[in-house]
Amino acid sequence: MDIRAQVSMVFHLDKCIGCHTCSVACKNIWTDRKGTEYMWWNNVETKPGTGYPTLWEDQEKYKGGWEKKGGELRLKLQGRLGALTNIFFNPYLPTVDDYYEPWTYDYENLFTAPEGDDQPTARAISMITGKHMEIEAGPNWDDDYGGSPVYASNDPNLEALTDDEREQMSEIERVVFFYLPRICNHCLNPGCVAACPAGAIYKRGEDGIVLLSQEKCRAWRMCISGCPYKKTYFNWSTGKSEKCILCYPRLESGQAPACFHSCVGRIRYLGVLLYDADQIKNAASVPNRDLVEAHRSIIQDPFDPQIIAAAKANGIPDGMIDAAQKSPVYKFVKEWRLALPLHPEFRTMPMLFYVPPMLPVLAKIKDGKYDNADVASKSLAPLLSSLERARLPLQYMASLFSAGNDEVVAASYRKLIAVRIYMRHKTVGDISEEEALEALRAGGTTAEEVEAIYQLTAKPTMEERFVVPPLAREVAIEQTIDPFTRKREGGFGFRHAPQRGG
Amino acid sequence: MALSRLRSIALASLVFAALLMAALFITVEAAPPNQSADEGATLFKEKCVGCHTIGSGKLVGPDLKGVTQRQEKAWLLSWIQAPDKMLAAGDPIATQLLKEYNNLPMPNLGLNETQVASLVAYLEGIDAGTIAAPVLPTAAAVPEGNSVIGKELFTGVNRFQNGGPPCMGCHSVGGLGALGGGALGPDLTTAFDKYGGAAGLVGFLNAPPTATMNAVWSRQPLTADEQANLMAFLQSATATERPVEALVPLTVLAIVGALILIVVAQLYWRKRLVSVRRAMVTRSRIS
């Protein structure tokens, strides 16, 4: 047993309103530099949709993540020989057009245009070439179903559906979408780390944050292909790759990452998980159906004295164990089994989990009215059986969150429905106790658990949402550098600015 | 009291040490140039005989007999020290000599002041009759060469006995192959005439005076036979330009080679990612 700590995340999709505040907060802090214009370490996608970069989920194109070959786990991108023959030309790189060409506007022209008959305009200017450009795509071009005949209908997850189901989705009263905010998943078995020929990417020991050394990076760009979530990006100005750093400077001073802190819908939770590193290989190698269960099984109970002893033996400080016991992520993922990993079939074991969205999926329109508005006036009982008739087929959610195993997604949904029905029974009182108890039974839950889920979902305090462990960075680094020296030198910005050829 | 005495002792020893060091440096600096004619003789064999004789007529450069009487000593010293600088400065004697000797400038031999002084002392000794003039190999002593063997040596088909690199690595000769030879050293098409025939070349090959050649050939010299064969080849290689016909197969070869490489690359990377978004949009618009 090799117990390690990981700062992990839960995004509650039912609460996401798709406002992109997280993306903007991140952009303003980290990617407003030259060469990073096109990067969105945090982005929000509309689902169904093709996302950013376009069709990132289609690994037949991008070759990200892992696959099982002859019983062994292998990078889908290439083996060692392939890495050698392709070292100077990685054939599976997205082009900037697949992300989007970043632009600004020629605002100057509004003030300096010569007098004429027409209003001067501010034309779009490429932030890469500096020339006028026609805008063809953006980082959230298909937001709210913009251009859906092209974008939404090409969503790779729709392949899991039957033709009938796909047909139904485009019916006017069934049309449905939800938002999917994405950051780096800080995986347990990261494809980017495995693909890097320079050994520049590493998973930080004390908190599991995956970082990319700006000094060791040699611009081979294999990480960009290796990551199935396309969350490492190449900075064309410095010639180094960059990625989400989970705002570790903020974490080290006890604050939540900027995207978490700024979230309007308060959908984001952050906390520590303890896991057994010895089991990673096995858990990443199980058949698709069992991936979610295997992923849950390597997360360890932070209250178990044996686990605590093993964690301490591994040098995990008491503060970290304490944070693990208070972790909202542990509750959502392991205790309540509500939150699910995004695309576990990529086998990188992502440590960002999603509570699947319920309302857009279940709310149905009947005779021009919301079905469950009608239902709520009498009884919520039909909600229990409506899962099979959901607007967005369950198979779609299974393709996103459980590698196609719809039982796992259904179990999560049943519990969410139970919370809804039980709390309605309790607070509004228009649902009978029998019905509420029936919902609890169907959801496999209890009244206490439902209360706890309700509390953490609807009314959590900031301290309950973000349990930031005391990251004793000074302790972690003192073997290699005097913490006071580090404190003096490590100011704002790069300690050694990355430069081409450096 | 004790402390101040200790301090004065320390100070005194420091001053002494400093003086000692200074004395050492001054001795080195003030040492008169070692004008050893013996050293001059050795240097002459190493550096000069490639182009000069003493009393056996001119080769690439002038016969040095009586040179110390023809030129002033100061001029000789600065000329041997840095002929390139004097030429660049437009020294009248140097310019005149250059014109006289086929516009072949004397290379900078990289000698230091002491060595130059030794050389001049040696030359003065010979002119004064106190030192015997050296006996140098002449063209007459070189056996008859075979230009075919010479060509094989030049191109590297056959290797040099002492392991030297083939000439073609750095030099080119007109009419030799479609691509010619290396471009690091000068083109040798007219070298035979330029160096005044076998007499000039044999000296050069025996002890190459230029820095690059010297570095390569002093440790792995050419044998007399090799020299003869090479000279025979250089004598026969008199085509001044690469024939135009040679450019046609060269161009064709280049195009065919490039095409083959492109096809191979296309095949090897046929599954590469070209465009995702644009391709998707185009496909959707068509259907």
Q: Tell me how crowded residue B208 is: count the other CB atoms within 10 A of its CB.
A: 21
How far is the C-alpha of B236 from the C-alpha of B99, rounded, in Å? 26
Give the mutation candidate from B277, B283, B284, B285 for the A interface (greatest A CB count, under 10 A).
B277
If you average pLDDT over residues B210-235, what whole number do you get? 85
Measure in Å the smallest separation between the Cα of B283 and chain A Cα atoms: 9
Residue A471: its pLDDT value, please?
87
Considering only A5-19, A107-121, A239-253, B60-74, which range has the smallest mean pLDDT? B60-74
- Which residue of chain A has the CA closest to B271? A91
Residues of B in contact with A58 (CB under 8 A): 276
User: Among B271, B276, B281, whose Cβ lies nearest the Cβ of A94?
Assistant: B276
Measure in Å the smallest separation between the Cα of A67 and chain B Cα atoms: 18
Where residue A205 falls (left for φ over 0; alpha for ψ -120 to 50; beta otherwise) is: alpha
Question: Domain coordinates of chain B in residue numbers?
Answer: 37-136, 140-236, 247-286
Residues of A in contact with B277 (CB under 8 A): 50, 53-55, 97-98, 137
Contact check, Cβ <8 Å, B276/A153: no
Is A457 a residue whose pLDDT tops 70? yes
Considering only A257-266, A478-487, B261-270, which range has the smallest mean pLDDT? A478-487
How many contacts does A have with B, using Cβ atoms within 8 A?
44
If you average pLDDT over residues A148-163, what whole number do you get? 87
**Domains, chain A, with CATH or none:** 258-465 (3.30.70.20)
Mean pLDDT of chain A: 90
Residues of chain A with pLDDT > 70: what percent?
91
CB B121 within 8 A of CB B40: yes
**Helices within A6-87 (DSSP H only):** 21-30, 59-62, 80-85
pLDDT digits (tens, 9 = 90+) for A69-113: 888 999 999 999 999 989 999 999 999 999 999 999 999 999 999
Residues of B in contact with A91 (CB under 8 A): 269, 271-273
Estimate to the nearest angstrom the gap between the alpha carbon of A42 and the chain centroid.
9
Contact check, Cβ <8 Å, A93/B278: no
- Which residue of chain B has the CA closest to A149? B284
Please choose, from the candidates A181, A187, A183, the residue with its C-alpha nearest in 3D space to the C-alpha of residue A6.
Answer: A187
- Which residue of chain A has the CA closest to B280? A150
Contact check, Cβ <8 Å, B277/A154: no
Nearest-10 crossing angle of helices B224-236, B147-155: 100
CB A354 within 8 A of CB A11: yes
The CA R_g of chain B, rounded to the nearest whole Å, is 30
Is A116 a residue whose pLDDT tops 80? yes
Residues of chain A with pLDDT > 90: what percent?
71
Is A149 a residue whose pLDDT tops 90? no
Residue A313: its pLDDT value, please?
96
Is B31 a residue whose pLDDT tops 60? no
Please choose, from the candidates A68, A383, A57, the residue with its C-alpha nearest in 3D space to the C-alpha of residue A231.
Answer: A57
Residues of B in contact with A54 (CB under 8 A): 276-277, 280
Tell me which DSSP letter residue B144 carries.
P
Measured between CB atoms, does A87 come within 8 Å of chain B?
no
Residues of A in contact with B278 (CB under 8 A): 97
Instruction: Identify the band that residue A502 occupies on the pLDDT scale cut at 50, 70 and 90.
Output: very low
Contact check, Cβ <8 Å, B276/A54: yes
User: Among B275, B281, B284, whose Cβ lies nearest the Cβ of A95?
Assistant: B275
Contact check, Cβ <8 Å, A54/B277: yes
Contact check, Cβ <8 Å, B281/A92: no
Chain B: which residues have CB within 8 Å of chain A?
269, 271-273, 275-278, 280-281, 284-285
B214 vs A228 pLDDT, higher one = A228
Is B51 a residue whose pLDDT tops 70? yes
Residue B48: its pLDDT value, please?
81
Q: Domain B37-136: which CATH class? A: mainly alpha
Measured between CB atoms, does A154 come within 8 Å of chain B?
yes
Contact check, Cβ <8 Å, B275/A150: no
B32 vs B92 pLDDT, higher one = B92
Q: Tell me the CA end-to-end span of chain A in Å, nearest whole number.
A: 41
Is A334 a residue whose pLDDT tops 90? yes
Considering only A52-56, A217-221, A241-245, B12-16, which range has the smallest mean pLDDT? B12-16
If you average pLDDT over residues A321-330, what whole number do you get? 97
Please choose, from the candidates B194, B196, B188, the residue with its C-alpha nearest in 3D space to the C-alpha of residue B230.
Answer: B188
Give the mutation candidate from A95, A140, A153, A158 for the B interface (greatest B CB count, under 10 A).
A95
Measure in Å the smallest separation between the Cα of B277 and chain A Cα atoms: 5
Contact check, Cβ <8 Å, A50/B280: yes
Q: Which two tokens stand for residue B179?
A: 């691509």
pLDDT digits (tens, 9 = 90+) for B124-161: 888 887 877 776 655 556 677 888 888 889 888 989 98
Contact check, Cβ <8 Å, B276/A61: yes
Residues of B in contact with A137 (CB under 8 A): 277
Residue A379: its pLDDT value, please?
46
pLDDT winner (highest mean) among A177-191, B103-117, B227-241? A177-191
Cis ω for the linkage preceding A53 (within 30 of 0): yes
Instruction: Identify the band that residue B172 occupies on the pLDDT scale cut at 50, 70 and 90.
Output: confident
Contact check, Cβ <8 Å, A153/B285: no
Residue A370: its pLDDT value, please?
57
Measure in Å the smallest separation between the Cα of A53 and chain B Cα atoms: 8
Give the mutation candidate from A142, A154, A158, A224 for the B interface (greatest B CB count, under 10 A).
A154
Instruction: Identify the band that residue B109 occupies on the pLDDT scale cut at 50, 70 and 90.
Output: confident
Q: Tell me how crowded residue A437 is: count the other CB atoms within 10 A of its CB.
A: 15
A456 vs A392 pLDDT, higher one = A456
Q: How far is CA A376 from CA A295, A391, A410, A425, B282, in A?
A: 36, 18, 21, 11, 46
Measured between CB atoms, does A138 come within 8 Å of chain B?
no
Residue B34: its pLDDT value, please?
47
Nearest-10 crossing angle of helices A305-313, A318-326: 140
B56 vs A51 pLDDT, higher one = A51
Residue B97: its pLDDT value, please?
84
Measured between CB atoms, does A38 come within 8 Å of chain B?
no
Number of H helices, E strands in chain A: 25, 17
Give the mutation candidate from B262, B271, B276, B283 for the A interface (greatest A CB count, under 10 A).
B276
Please choose, from the candidates A439, A441, A405, A411, the residue with its C-alpha nearest in 3D space to the C-alpha of residue A336.
Answer: A411
Residue A248: its pLDDT value, please?
93
Q: Is the ipTM of this complex over 0.90?
A: no
pLDDT digits (tens, 9 = 90+) for B231-258: 888 888 765 556 667 778 888 999 999 9
A213 vs B105 pLDDT, higher one = A213
| Strands A352-355 and A72-75, sheet pairing | unpaired
Considering only A61-65, A294-298, B35-39, which range has the smallest mean pLDDT? B35-39
Length of chain B: 287
Buried b / exposed e along A340-377 (16+ C-beta atoms within 10 A)? bbbbbbbbbbbbbbbbbbbebbbbbbeeeeebbeebbe
Contact check, Cβ <8 Å, A150/B273: no
CB A227 within 8 A of CB A62: no
Q: Which helix (DSSP H) or strand (DSSP E) does residue B23 occupy?
A: helix B2-30
Residues of chain B with pLDDT > 70: what percent?
81
pLDDT winner (highest mean) among A145-159, A289-303, A387-401, B162-176? A289-303
Q: What are phi and psi of A226, to 5 degrees?
A: -65, -35
Measure in Å the smallest separation between the Cα of A54 and chain B Cα atoms: 6
pLDDT winner (highest mean) among A17-26, B70-79, B120-129? A17-26
CB A265 within 8 A of CB A458: no
Tell me which DSSP letter residue A331 carries.
I
Residues of B in contact with A61 (CB under 8 A): 273, 276
Fold match between domain B37-136 and domain B140-236:
yes
Contact check, Cβ <8 Å, A97/B277: yes
User: Among A98, A149, A153, whose Cβ lies nearest the Cβ of B277?
Assistant: A98
Amino acid at residue number B34: N
Measure in Å the smallest separation between the Cα of B281 and chain A Cα atoms: 6
CA dihedral A342, A188, A26, A240 (to 10 degrees): -120
| Strands A178-182 and A43-47, sheet pairing | antiparallel
Residues of A in contact with B280 (CB under 8 A): 50, 54-55, 150, 154
Residue A372: its pLDDT value, please?
53
CATH code given to domain B140-236: 1.10.760.10
Contact check, Cβ <8 Å, A95/B269: no
Residues of A in contact with B273 (CB under 8 A): 61-62, 91-95
Mean pLDDT of chain B: 79
Contacts of B118 (CB under 8 A, 6+ apart): B33, B34, B35, B36, B37, B39, B40, B43
Q: What share of chain A is helix, strand, coil (3-state, %, to 5)?
A: 40, 15, 45
Q: Which helix (DSSP H) or strand (DSSP E) does residue A68 occupy?
A: strand A66-69
User: Among B269, B272, B276, whose Cβ lies nearest the Cβ of A55?
Assistant: B276
Contact check, Cβ <8 Å, B285/A137: no
Q: How far is CA B209 from CA A49, A261, B94, in A?
A: 75, 76, 18
